[in-house]
């Protein structure tokens, strides 16, 4: 049902969805690649500064999800929604997303299965903090996500598995198919 509604609403906003996907990819890619290059004398390798820059660019994800959420609701989506994460309580959003990732990683240290369960439990956090109606303390978004996902984790797993074939085809096309699958 979710996929059908999204497809129906995407017809009118396909260009916006593709441009938002490209801009989202470019912003995250430039930030992380710059961190790799800068801290290693402009040699590409993994390091902690890329993680720090990725944390501060995390609100881009909120904006990207906001674009698609507004397309899904057919609520006048706009390209400026992509930068919504940088408006209003930027540091709160950065902290919440950092804490969410920290909790998820810590659960993965416990064991793989609890890590996946908690990743699914926390999966609505970005959607909650991008919502204009959510005015509570940011960390409560993680708790609210956990409560919202009680009894729905298997449904989310089913939704993700329904895209498995598309993920394989996307990999086979060197990511080009993501312009269709991503939105």
Mean predicted confidence (pLDDT) in 157-173:
92
- Note the pTM of the prediction, 2 decimals: 0.77
Across 102-120, b (16+ Cβ under 10 Å) vs e yields ebbeebeeeeeeebeebbb
Q: Residue 120: its pLDDT value, please?
A: 95
Mean pLDDT across the chain, nearest whole number?
82
The pLDDT tens digits for 97-135 are 889 888 988 998 888 888 899 999 999 998 888 886 777
Residues 6+ apart with CB under 8 A from 18: 179, 183
Confidence of residue 154 (pLDDT cuts 50, 70, 90): very high
């Amino acid at each position: 049902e979710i996929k059908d509604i999204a497809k129906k609403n995407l017809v009118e906003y396909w260009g916006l969805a593709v441009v938002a996907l490209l801009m989202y990819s470019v912003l995250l890619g430039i930030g992380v690649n710059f961190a790799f290059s800068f801290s290693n004398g402009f040699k590409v390798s993994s390091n902690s500064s890329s993680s720090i820059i990725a944390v501060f660019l995390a609100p881009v994800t909120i904006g990207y999800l906001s674009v698609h959420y507004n397309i899904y609701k057919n609520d006048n989506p706009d390209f400026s929604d992509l930068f919504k994460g940088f408006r209003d309580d930027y540091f709160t959003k950065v902290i919440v997303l950092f804490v969410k990732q920290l909790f998820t990683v810590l659960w993965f240290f416990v064991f793989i299965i609890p890590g996946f369960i908690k990743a699914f439990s926390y999966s609505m956090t970005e959607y909650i903090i991008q919502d204009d109606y959510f005015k509570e303390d940011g960390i409560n978004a993680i708790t609210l996500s956990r409560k919202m996902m009680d009894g729905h984790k298997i449904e989310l797993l089913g939704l993700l598995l329904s895209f498995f074939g598309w993920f394989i085809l996307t990999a086979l096309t060197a990511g080009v198919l993501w312009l269709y699958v991503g939105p």
